[in-house]
Amino acid sequence: MNNVRDFGAVGDGVTKDTIAIQKAIDAGGMVFFPPGVYLSGTLYLKSNGGLELAPGAILLGSPDIADYNDRDFCPQNSFSIEEKACGAHLIVALEIHHVTLRGGGRINGNRKAFFDPAKCSRAEFTGIRPSQMIFICECSDVSIENLEMTHSPYWACFLHGCEDIRLHGLKITNEPGVWNGDGLDVDCCRRVCISDCNIATSDDSLAIRAGGTKKLLRSPGVTEYVTVTNCILSSRQAAIRLGVGNGTIRHCVFSNLCIRDTNFGIVLLSTYLPAIFKSGAEGVEIADVLFDNILLDVRVPFDLSSNWIDEPLPASRKKISGITFRGIRGYGKANSIIQGNLDRNIEEIEFSDVSLTLSGGERILPEMEKWTGDNVYRRPYGFYIVNASGIRFHRFRLRWRDETDAWKSALFLSNTEEVRMDDCTFDIPKAGCESIIHQ
């Protein structure tokens, strides 16, 4: 194992150690960081090697954007003018195999060196910031274990087009106001195991994506065989989000999770932003996904939408199908959603052994002719289901606790086919007149 200090790294948090660390990486094998603060720009990992940060070791991102990679350093890299992210990364693993990041140390993206979200919004920001802190692209046999990731200026860790991935024992944190402060983003990857992680972020804690052909991968478009277990998730946006792109997400299992202090609990979206579908994007096909043994303490427990915060369209290019929610206890303060397009492209959705308790309702609105934008989460129904088919509720209970008078009913159904309910209880809210409204 190569000790970075043997290659000239100082580890005082002031001296730039990029060159010394890269020399240790280029020497081959694992690179060891003893306790210290190692200031660095972009590091390029090699096959059959990686980084081991001892407890007390911190890899700190350089405050100088010139110390990072150019945005066009590889064809798979991307940047976002809208999100003010320039395509730079602290750690890069590109088209390599058998790569490891491990240890009890910390990777710190030094977000405060680039912007302060308390002083300006993303739209007002006139500077530049790096993109994903860790960028792992088209690699195989990737292992990231027992590390802390913090203060990322954008997403903490992005796995793009990779195979055979193990993410274990990670602690990922980002301040609540940081723009696009995702935890783990998994895009067009196969055979992914995520376990025993504690993720508290400003944006999505865990995003499962399918970027499609526009991402310039050799084998683009499919994310499959993903397992997530024994994790604690918290986010100012979504704890779990499936969607974004034009590909396919399938064969995924999420189990033994605690989701707390979060805006959206479990989110499945075929298209992510309003008008994307109308501009020509096909959206994401999502199929064969199981959510099991999960505790939700959130604002919006479930959101399955063909077009996020946009109105239903006449027809669809992609489906959301074969989704099972089992053994879930949830607490929420806003309505859950299943909303397909008019051709009922959300189908075969099952809720089994689910207990959902709703409270509050200060932001709930009376019935409106059109529901768009954030208003879709202010409907006066505990569960709103439209344009769907093959929905099954088995041993499902929706109850109320300390709710306002704004709620009208527990369940709203419209343009739905083959809805089955057995051994279910949908309580009437205190100011409502019926438990189920079926139009």
Q: What values do phi and psi take at 5, rounded to 5?
A: -70, -30
- Segment 416-439 shows an average pLDDT of 93
Asked if 320 and 304 count as a contact pair (C-beta separation under 8 A), the reply is yes
- Label residue 382 by pLDDT band (50, 70, 90): very high
Structure tokens belonging to residue 245: 């792109």
Residue 190: per-residue pLDDT: 96
**Using one digit for the tens of pLDDT, what is the confidence trace for 241-297?**
999 888 999 999 999 999 999 999 999 999 876 555 555 667 899 999 999 999 999
Asked if 278 and 314 count as a contact pair (C-beta separation under 8 A), the reply is no
Residue 312: per-residue pLDDT: 86
**Using one digit for the tens of pLDDT, what is the confidence trace for 333-375?**
999 999 999 999 999 999 999 999 999 999 999 888 777 788 8
User: How many domains does one find in the chain?
Assistant: 1
- Label residue 417 by pLDDT band (50, 70, 90): very high
Q: What is the largest CA-CA distance in the chain?
A: 75
Range of the domain at 178: 2-438
- CATH number of 206's domain: 2.160.20.10
| Residue 376, helix vs strand vs coil | helix
Residue 187 has pLDDT above 70, yes or no: yes
Asked if 423 and 394 count as a contact pair (C-beta separation under 8 A), the reply is yes
**Using one digit for the tens of pLDDT, what is the confidence trace for 149-163?**
999 999 999 999 999
Average pLDDT, the chain: 93
Residue 80 has pLDDT above 90, yes or no: no
- Label residue 79 by pLDDT band (50, 70, 90): confident
Structure tokens belonging to residue 249: 């997400």
Exposure of 344 in the CB half-sphere (CA atoms within 13 A): 17
Count helices and strands (H / E) in the chain: 1, 32
Backbone angle region of 298, left / alpha / beta, with phi > 0 → left and psi within -120 to 50 → alpha: beta
- Segment 59-87 shows an average pLDDT of 93
**Using one digit for the tens of pLDDT, what is the confidence trace for 89-110?**
999 999 999 999 999 999 999 9
Backbone angle region of 18, left / alpha / beta, with phi > 0 → left and psi within -120 to 50 → alpha: alpha
Alpha-carbon distances, residue 385 vs 216, 298, 318, 347, 421 (angstroms):
36, 19, 18, 11, 14
**Using one digit for the tens of pLDDT, what is the confidence trace for 120-140?**
889 899 889 999 999 999 999
The conformation of residue 25, written as its DSSP 8-state character, comes to H
Residue 283: per-residue pLDDT: 86
Residue 271: per-residue pLDDT: 84
Residue 81: per-residue pLDDT: 82
Q: Rounded CA gap, 325 and 433, in Å?
A: 28
Please spell the DSSP secondary structure of 258-304, one letter per residue: EEEEEEEEEEEEEE-STTTTTTT----EEEEEEEEEEEEEEEEEEEE
**Using one digit for the tens of pLDDT, what is the confidence trace for 191-240?**
999 999 999 999 999 999 998 655 567 766 899 999 999 999 999 999 99
Q: Rounded CA gap, 260 and 263, in Å?
A: 9
Residue 366: per-residue pLDDT: 87
